[in-house]
């Protein structure tokens, strides 16, 4: 088994479930209309919310197919960082327990995506 296959499957499941449920429970529309439009993205908040969720679905599929991993990772990491900046940071670190809606979950997803994108680490080998 590929060393990061389990991580790719896990992140894909997280991205898919987070996105698909939002499609069917009106969460995406609420996020676009009731949050993004209210914080300055009007009149594009709804479109932006859908683009975010569609990007998560595409990233999940790419992770499962092991294709364009770095592109999928960079886009998803950007969205996760923006989520931290705009929503989660002000709520603190903890998602549950010591707080609510904090940034620890996004932080973990970012680290896992980086591990998937760079399975051998960040260093470059210099051949002499």
What is the pLDDT, as a whole number, of residue 98?
85
Measured CA to CA, the distance from residue 11 to residue 60 in angstroms comes to 7
**pTM assigned to the model:** 0.91
Across the chain, which has 128 residues, the per-10-residue mean pLDDT values are 88 96 94 96 97 98 97 98 95 90 96 96 72
What is the pLDDT, as a whole number, of residue 10?
97
Tell me the torsion sign for CA atoms 56, 62, 68, 69: positive
Measured CA to CA, the distance from residue 53 to residue 57 in angstroms comes to 6
What is the pLDDT, as a whole number, of residue 102?
93
What is the pLDDT, as a whole number, of residue 85?
97
């Amino acid at each position: 088994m590929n060393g990061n296959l389990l991580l790719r499957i896990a992140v894909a499941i997280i991205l898919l479930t987070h996105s698909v449920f939002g499609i069917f429970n009106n969460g995406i529309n609420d996020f676009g209309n009731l949050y993004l439009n209210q914080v300055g993205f009007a009149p594009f908040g709804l479109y932006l919310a859908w683009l975010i969720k569609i990007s998560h679905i595409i990233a999940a599929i790419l992770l499962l197919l092991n294709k364009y991993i770095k592109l999928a990772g960079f886009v998803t990491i950007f969205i996760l960082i923006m989520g931290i900046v705009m929503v989660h940071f002000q709520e603190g670190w903890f998602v549950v327990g010591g707080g609510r809606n904090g940034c620890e979950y996004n932080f973990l997803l970012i680290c896992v995506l980086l591990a998937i994108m760079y399975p051998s680490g960040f260093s470059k080998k210099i051949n002499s």
